[in-house]
Amino acid sequence: MYPPGVTDIELRHLAAMAAIADEGSFGRAAARLGYTQSTVSQQIAALERTVGGPVFDRPGGPKPVRITPLGAVVLEHGRDLLARAEKLADAVDRFKAGGGRIDIGTFQSVSNVILPVVVCRLREEQPDCDIRLFEEEPDQPRISDLDLLFYDGRIDGDVESAKLLDDPYLLVCGNDAFPDGPVQLAQLDDAPMVAWPLTCDQPLMEQALAHNGARPRVVFRSAINETLLSMVRAGMGSAVLPWLAIRGANVESDRQLRVHELCPALPVREIYLHWRAGRTQSPLATRAIEIAVEVAAELSGARRA
Amino acid sequence: MYPPGVTDIELRHLAAMAAIADEGSFGRAAARLGYTQSTVSQQIAALERTVGGPVFDRPGGPKPVRITPLGAVVLEHGRDLLARAEKLADAVDRFKAGGGRIDIGTFQSVSNVILPVVVCRLREEQPDCDIRLFEEEPDQPRISDLDLLFYDGRIDGDVESAKLLDDPYLLVCGNDAFPDGPVQLAQLDDAPMVAWPLTCDQPLMEQALAHNGARPRVVFRSAINETLLSMVRAGMGSAVLPWLAIRGANVESDRQLRVHELCPALPVREIYLHWRAGRTQSPLATRAIEIAVEVAAELSGARRA
DNA sequence: AAACGTCCATCGCGAAAAGCGATGGTTTGC
DNA sequence: GCAAACCATCGCTTTTCGCGATGGACGTTT
């Protein structure tokens, strides 16, 4: 792979060489490096052994040592090598401080409500970090190549997860569709309704509706919440949406719309944050999980209030 | 100078890491590197100690190990570091094979006769070498910053030298100025003459002329040999030039000019090659000295023939 | 000229580390 | 379950690292 001898080069020796070149003396270089003069002398001897020739001329006496032509070649590349090593150390430090890149998979309502806050706080703590979001959603959520994945449900495979919050379904309808207070599920039977496409938790929710004797007529499907709500305002029908989506669209302050709890309540949609099991996380990912849990808890509290 | 820890990085460990990343297994990497599996395991452990975290996830069993986010950071820079180290080794090899740069100081006739051959042979052996020639000639020849210096005389200071050849002075004159055979120095007294400027050996030569009762009238001085010879052809006067200069200008095949030995002969001009004492030479410089001596010897032989 | 100061090389020693072989624990696949 | 593949760990030997002390070389000073 690498030619023999390449890995015999020691950065310590190159650092000693650079210090000597700067100071003009083995002894002063040793002092600067925190070594003994004899140690530095041996380090240079070792370096000269590996490169196969002297790198300094030692005139003897108080004259400063001078670099040889071979030494100049070694030093030129050596300084470069040391600079690169320093860059490596810097990169590691930045990484451990939370820098670096993180790839997060997300979906619909999480993108609208939770994620903005998470990203914001993360960037506050780590202005230089590189956060990449992915919302492509094939039928199966893809966690390979992602560090973190938000999803409303569990995922099979070698995955760990944190439950972020319970997201109950609520009814959004026109101002005068129902009187204040909870709405009986049965009242939704055969009612016109707009809804999300049948991905994620949506099929489960509709089954639960049906199981409770509510078979609404779905007159329109869209993944865009704003579109759905416009349809509700237009009187096309009502919508059963999770609380997160409702909050994300500021429905509560919309005088044309009203939100009702459902009775009996549908099974809540559960929001999870997933990551691959058995893999060491980056500090950035670890922190992102913590922040996501925090944010979710705050949201949960806000909902109950 | 360098932050602590930078010089603790070992190229050996990075090489092991790269091999593992390629092979997906500590054992195979060990085989490739010529180490034992346990050794590689410890190398990675050491690396992980210096960077402060795991660089590989070991799933256990026949699954390939996988790099961690931290490991990815380290590996990215590590490969770079290894590539640079390889460049260093390459540069050293090239240098030892005679590559690299050489700075040569020269003057007038050496530039014309000796140096072209030396440079030619050197470049034949080392096509990639970087030969730089300097002909600036302040009153004092400057050997600092030069690897090699041609000069017609000795130099004071900490300098070693090789005598290349004796370069006798000869008389160049018009076809019919003197009969064939040696010319008595006395015959040059008050004769019109063109000559070099009073640098290098020229003052010494003119003193020697005077000392032998010949005080020619110098009617023109120029450092350009061709100019001087044109003047001789034009009948302005004759010229006392060293053999090297005469050969460099192809005087011998010029039917308008004739070359005479002088009687008694003037002290020869001695051509030396100098280099700073007590300094390790580059192989290229060493070889250049050898070649220069060879070329000078050939020229010496050619002259005597 | 002799004494001094500065400098690097070298020697001996103790501590640390590298590398090896053998062993043991884990996980996967049959 | 059993076998196979894999990595971690332990004990051991050999090598290396770094130190302090000493000595030789050179230039400067007296």
Residues B189 and B215: beta-carbon distance below 8 Å: yes
Instruction: Tell me how many degrees the CA angle B242-B245-B249 measures, rounded to the nearest 5.
Output: 140
Residues of A in contact with B12 (CB under 8 A): 7
A217 three-state secondary structure: strand
Are B15 and A7 a contacting pair at CB < 8 A? yes
- Measured between CA atoms, the residue of chain B closest to residue A30 is B1
Q: Indicate yes or no: CB of A96 within 8 angstroms of CB of B53.
A: yes
Identity of the residue numbered B296? A
In angstroms, the CA of B2 and the C1' of C17 are apart by 23
Distance from C-alpha of A140 to C-alpha of A200, rounded to nearest angstrom: 9
pLDDT band at A252 (very low <50, low <70, confident <90, very high): confident
CA–CA gap between residue B110 and residue B303 (Å, rounded): 15
Residue of B nearest to A69 (CA): B282
pLDDT of residue A70: 96
Predicted pLDDT of residue A175: 87
CB B147 within 8 A of CB B275: yes
Are residues B91 and A85, on separate chains, in Cβ contact within 8 Å?
no
Q: Is the Cβ pair B15, A1 closer than 8 Å?
A: yes
Q: Between chains, do A70 and B59 touch, taking CB under 8 Å as contact? A: no
The reply to whether residue A69 touches residue B33, judged by beta carbons under 8 angstroms, is no
The yes-or-no verdict on residue B142 having pLDDT over 80 is: no
Structure tokens belonging to residue A32: 């600067």
Residue A140's pLDDT is: 65
Q: Please, are residues A55 and A74 in contact by the beta-carbon 8 Å criterion?
A: yes
Helices (H) and strands (E) in chain A, counts: 10, 14
Whether pLDDT at B39 is above 70: yes
Interface contacts A/B by beta carbons within 8 Å? 149
Q: Which residue has the tokens 């034949």?
A: B124
Q: Which residue in A46, A3, A76, A70 sits closest to B83, CA to CA?
A: A3
Residue pair A40/A20 in contact by the 8 Å Cβ criterion: yes
* Tokens read off for B157: 């200071």
Residue at shortest CA–C1' distance from D27? A61
Task: Give the HSE-up count for residue A269: Cα atoms under 13 Å, Cβ half-sphere.
Answer: 24
**Residue B93 CA distance to nucleotide C12 C1' (Å):** 36
Residue type, A236: M
For residues A54 and A71, is the Cβ–Cβ distance under 8 A? yes
- Nearest residue to nucleotide C22, by CA–C1' distance, is B38
From chain A, the residues in CB contact with B52 under 8 A are 92, 96
Contacts of A155 (CB under 8 A, 6+ apart): A141, A143, A149, A161, A272, A274
Asked whether the beta carbons of B69 and B5 are under 8 A apart, the reply is: no
**Both tokens assigned to B295:** 């070329």
Cβ B277 vs Cβ B155: under 8 Å: no
8 Å CB contact between B170 and B260: yes
Q: Which of residues 9-28 of B touch strand C (CB under 7 A)?
A: 10, 12
| C-beta separation of B154 from B271 below 8 A | no
**Average pLDDT score, chain B:** 92
Measure CA B32 to chain center.
42
Q: Is the CB of A27 under 7 A from strand C?
A: yes
Task: Please report the domains of chain B, with CATH numbers, ordered by start residue.
Answer: 6-96 (1.10.10.10), 101-164+271-304 (3.40.190.10), 169-267 (3.40.190.10)
CB contact under 8 A, B7 and A11: yes
First to last CA, chain B: 64
Tell me if A193 sits within 8 A of A218, measured CB to CB.
Answer: yes
Q: How far apart are CA B258 and CA B232, in angstroms?
A: 10
Nearest to A85 by CA among B29, B47, B92: B47
Mean pLDDT within A140-169:
88
A305 band by pLDDT with thresholds 50, 70 and 90:
confident
Cα angle: B135, vertex B140, B144; to 5 degrees:
70
Q: Say which residues have a Cβ less than 8 Å from residue B244's Cβ, sequence separation at least 6.
A: B109, B110, B112, B113, B114, B167, B271, B299
- Give me B226's structure tokens: 């061709």
The per-residue pLDDT for A210 is 93
Nearest-by-CA chain B residue for A89? B6
The answer to whether residue A63 scores a pLDDT higher than 70 is yes
Bridge partners (DSSP) of residue B183 are B262
Residues of B whose CB is below 8 A from A74: 88, 91-92
Q: What CA–CA distance (Å, rounded) separates B134 from A24?
A: 28
* Residue B29: closest C-alpha in chain A: A1
> For the segment B85-137, what is each residue's pLDDT rounded down to a tens digit?
999 999 999 999 988 999 999 987 788 889 999 999 999 999 989 999 998 76
Residue B45 CA to D9 C1' — how many Å?
A: 12
Residues from chain B contacting residue A88 (CB–CB below 8 Å): 6, 9, 74, 77-78, 81
User: Which residue places its CA closest to the C1' of nucleotide C18?
Assistant: B39
Q: Tell me if B66 and A279 make a contact (CB, 8 A cut-off).
A: yes
Nucleotides of C under 7 A from a protein CB: 5-12, 17-23, 25-29
> pLDDT digits over A181-235, tens only?
899 999 999 999 999 999 888 999 999 999 999 999 999 999 889 999 999 999 9
pLDDT band of residue A1 (cuts 50, 70, 90) is low
* Burial tier of B181 (Cβ tally within 10 Å: 0-12, 13-18, 19+): exposed
Lowest average pLDDT, out of A80-89, A149-158, A193-202, B209-218, goes to: A149-158
% of chain A with per-residue pLDDT over 90: 76
Does residue A44 surpass a pLDDT of 90? Answer: yes
Q: How far is the CA of A46 from the C1' of C11 (A)?
A: 17
Among A180, A205, A184, A187, residue whose Cα is nearest residue A195: A205
Sign of CA dihedral A219, A224, A228, A230: negative
Closest chain A residue to the Cα of B78, Cα to Cα: A88
Q: Which two tokens stand for residue A298?
A: 């705050």
**Which residues of chain A between 64 and 103 are close to nucleic strand C, CB under 7 A?**
65
Find the Cα–Cα–Cα–Cα dihedral B22, B28, B34, B40, rounded to 10°: 80
Peptide bond connecting B69 to the previous residue in cis, omega within 30 degrees of 0? no
Q: Give the separation between CA B162 and CA B274, rounded to whole angstroms.
A: 7
Separation in Å: D23 C1' and A60 CA: 14
**Does the beta-carbon distance from B70 to A15 stay under 8 Å?**
no
* Nucleic strand C near CB of residue A17 (< 7 Å): no
* Proximity of residue B280 CB to strand C below 7 A: no
Instruction: Return the structure tokens found at B30.
Output: 């060990």
Q: 3-state SS of chain A: helix, strand, coil percent to 5?
A: 45, 20, 35
Does the CA dihedral A86-A92-A95-A96 come out positive or negative? negative
- Per-residue pLDDT of B180-189, as tens digits, reads 889 999 999 9
Q: Is the pLDDT of residue B23 over 70?
A: yes
Which residue is nearest to the C1' sugar atom of D6, using CA?
Answer: B61
